[in-house]
């Protein structure tokens, strides 16, 4: 996978895919000083690309790192990567991290903040499960208290529990895991936000300790435009039983229907299908 053709943008220039390497003493590898973005390019245009560039810079700022490129420069770099690889439909991964340098310890202000942008063709995140309704496990790990970690940042350190939760889910034959937060409220999946439907209205967890996804915000607005009531609130685990439909949102996940969470079942209903179709239309418009 490393030794393949293709171009990756690294610190201001395009390099060969196989040469896009970092040193083993990279600070980020030891101390998780890394932030990233996941974006999708549809028919030659990155959906909300500039918002993703701004979020990358904001995530870095929350981790006390300054990205040496403006959001506009990042936008141009992303387009250059897509063009160099000849892709019109692809997933784009931008990443910024504290590199190796003079500082070997926890504090590493003297080490440079580095940036790379890669892209690859990535189909449905949940594969065949996509329109049939994904099966979710219930994660044993919880989203942490905002007082313990900057949870607004799309930072690598916040994904350790996601990887463990998703591995455990896959071992049980599930596509993903739903996580509760530190208070026990329903939070999100390991890389996507979650929505529920009950009596024609939509309920989604209030994003006060996890990423308020760009797709989540897009879908909330879309529902409001459709005159559908959206309740952004704390959701108790006992309520899962009363919801009729459920879906996930995320750049990679797009709008993915959920058929099951633990022992709770949901139908892939009309509203779920409508939201998925409208989202697909919007990203390609
Ligand atoms: N939550 C987590 C933990 C994620 O990794 C993602 C994907 N970036 C999301 C939510 C959804 O965010 P977005 O819609 O901005 O892709």
pLDDT per residue as tens digits for the range 71-90: 999 999 999 999 999 999 99
Task: List the beta bridge partners of residue 188.
Answer: 179
The reply to whether ipTM tops 0.90 is: yes
pLDDT digits (tens, 9 = 90+) for 259-283: 999 999 999 999 999 999 999 999 9
Whole-structure pTM value: 0.97
What tokens appear for 277 in the block?
């179709």
The pick from 191, 204, 247, 255 for probing ligand 1's pocket by mutation, whose C-beta has the most ligand atoms within 8 angstroms, reads 191
Structure-token match 């220039």, residue found: 13
Report the mean per-residue pLDDT for the chain: 96
Buried residues in 7-46 as b, exposed as e (16+ CB within 10 A): bbbbeeebeebeebeeeeebbbbeebbbbbbbbbbeeeeb
**CB-CB contact of 115 with 66 (8 Å):** no
The alpha carbon of 65 and the centre of ligand 1 are apart by a number of angstroms equal to 21
130 alpha carbon – ligand 1 mean position (Å): 17
Q: For the chain, give the longest Cα–Cα distance.
A: 59
- Please state whether 227 falls in left (phi above 0), alpha (psi between -120 and 50) or beta: left
- Judge whether 7-120 and 127-283 match in fold: no
Residue positions annotated with a catalytic role: 154
pLDDT, tens digit, 9 for 90 and up, residues 27-39: 999 999 999 999 9
The alpha carbons of the chain give a radius of gyration, in whole angstroms, of 19
Determine the Cα–Cα distance for residues 125 and 129; give it in Å rounded to an integer: 9
Q: Ligand 1: distance of its center to the CA of 103 in Å?
A: 32
Contact (CB, 8 A) for 242 and 76: no
User: Which residue puts its alpha carbon closest to atom 7 of ligand 1?
Assistant: 191
Atom of ligand 1 nearest to the CA of 162: 3
**Cross-strand pairs, 35:** 96, 155
Three-state DSSP at 89 gives coil
Q: Please state the φ and ψ torsions of residue 261, each to the nearest 5 degrees.
A: -130, 115
pLDDT digits (tens, 9 = 90+) for 208-232: 999 999 999 999 999 999 999 999 9
Q: Locate the domains of the chain by residue range.
A: 7-120, 127-283
**Site residues for ligand 1, CB cut-off 6 Å:** 38, 154, 188, 191-193, 210-211, 213-216, 249-251
Residue for token pair 């600070």: 27
For domain 7-120, the question of CATH label 3.30.470.10 is answered with: yes
Class of domain 127-283: alpha beta
pLDDT at 126: 78
pLDDT of 47 above 90: yes
């Amino acid at each position: 996978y490393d030794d393949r053709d293709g171009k990756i943008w690294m610190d201001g220039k395009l390099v060969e895919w196989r040469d896009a390497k970092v040193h083993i003493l990279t600070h980020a590898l030891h101390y998780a000083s890394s932030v990233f973005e996941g974006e999708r390019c549809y028919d030659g245009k990155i959906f909300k690309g500039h918002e993703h560039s701004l979020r990358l810079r904001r995530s870095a700022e929350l981790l006390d790192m300054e990205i040496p490129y403006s959001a506009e420069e990042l936008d141009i770099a992303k387009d250059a990567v897509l063009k160099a690889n000849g892709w019109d439909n692809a997933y784009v991964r931008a990443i910024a991290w504290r590199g190796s340098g003079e500082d070997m310890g926890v504090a590493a202000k003297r080490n440079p903040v580095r940036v790379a942008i890669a892209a690859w063709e990535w189909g449905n995140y949940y594969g065949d499960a996509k329109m049939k309704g994904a099966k979710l496990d219930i994660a044993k790990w919880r989203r942490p208290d905002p007082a313990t970690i900057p949870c607004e940042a799309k930072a690598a350190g916040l994904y350790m529990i996601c990887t463990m939760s998703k591995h455990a889910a896959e071992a049980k034959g599930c596509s993903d895991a739903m996580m509760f937060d530190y208070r026990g409220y329903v939070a999100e999946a390991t890389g996507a936000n979650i929505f529920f439907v009950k009596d024609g209205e939509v309920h989604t967890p209030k994003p006060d300790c996890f990423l308020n996804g760009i797709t989540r915000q897009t879908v909330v607005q879309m529902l409001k435009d459709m005159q559908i009531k959206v309740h952004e609130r704390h959701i108790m685990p006992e309520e899962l039983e009363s919801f009729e439909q459920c879906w996930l949102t995320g750049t990679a996940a797009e709008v993915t229907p959920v058929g099951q969470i633990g022992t709770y079942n949901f139908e892939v209903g009309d509203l779920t299908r409508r939201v998925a179709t409208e989202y697909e239309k919007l990203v390609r418009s």
